[in-house]
Amino acid sequence: MNNFLEHRWAVGLILATVAALLIVIGLRRGSVKWLLSAAAPLLGITVTIAIAWFSTTPADHAITVVEKLVAAAVAGNPAGAKACFSIHATIHMGTAEQPGEDRSRIDIAFDSFATRHRIESNSITSLTAATTSDDSATADLSCRTQTASSYGAVATRWQFEVTREPDGVWRIVGITWRAVGNMKPSLSLL
C-alpha cells in the first residue's frame, strides 16, 4: 500500500492518460460506449486524488522532518534543530556503515550553526524520500549552503533515517553526511 501511496500522482497521471485516450477514441468513432468507458479511469483518478489528499506516508513524514531541520538550522535555532533528532540518534561520515558518533556530537554541530558555522544562505537542490516500513523512511537531501566560515556556497549531500518513536513523533535516528563537494566529509568540518 505504501508503494501505491508514494507513487499516487504517477497512478493518477496514468489513469488520466487512459481516460483521455478512451475519450479521443469515442469522439473519433462517435461511440457513446467508448465515452462511457472513460468513466472508470476518471473514477480512479477521483479516488487517487482523495487518497493523496488525506494520506501521509512515512516518506512524507521524513520530508517534513528534514524540512523542519533545515529551517531550524538556517534560522540559527539549535534547539529547534535538535528537537528533530531522537535521543539515540547517530551521525556517520560518508556511509551509514561507517562507525557513527552519538547524539552529543550532533548537538555540538548544531550549536555551531548559531556561531562560527552560521548559515548565510541555503538552497535545497533535491529532497526525496522512500518508505522503508510502516514506521520508518529514508530521506536524501542535497543542498548548497554558504556559512560564515565557508568561502562561498558549498554543495553537500545527506541521508536521514527517520522513524516514528513510541510517543508517535517522527524523529531522525540516523544522519549520514555523504559528501561535501565531491569529497567524503570529516567530523572536523562540523
Q: What are phi and psi of 83, to 5 degrees?
A: -65, -15
Q: What are phi and psi of 91, to 5 degrees?
A: -125, 135
- pLDDT confidence of residue 68: 97
Is the pTM of the predicted complex or chain greater than 0.85?
Answer: no
| Residue-wise pLDDT tens digits, 155-176 | 999 999 999 999 999 999 999 9
Q: Cell numbers at residue 152, please? A: 562561498
- pLDDT confidence of residue 84: 96
CA 87 – CA 142 distance, rounded (Å): 24
C-alpha distances out from residue 100 to 52, 147, 172, 181, Å: 36, 24, 14, 21
- pLDDT confidence of residue 126: 95
pLDDT in single tens digits along all 190 residues of the chain: 555 556 667 777 888 888 888 888 888 888 888 888 888 888 887 887 777 777 788 999 999 999 999 999 998 899 999 999 999 999 998 888 888 888 988 898 888 877 777 888 889 999 999 999 989 999 999 999 888 777 888 899 999 999 999 999 999 999 999 988 877 777 666 6
Q: Cell numbers at residue 22, please? A: 478512451
C-alpha distances out from residue 50 to 4, 28, 36, 44, 72, Å: 13, 31, 22, 10, 32
Maximum CA pair distance of the chain? 71
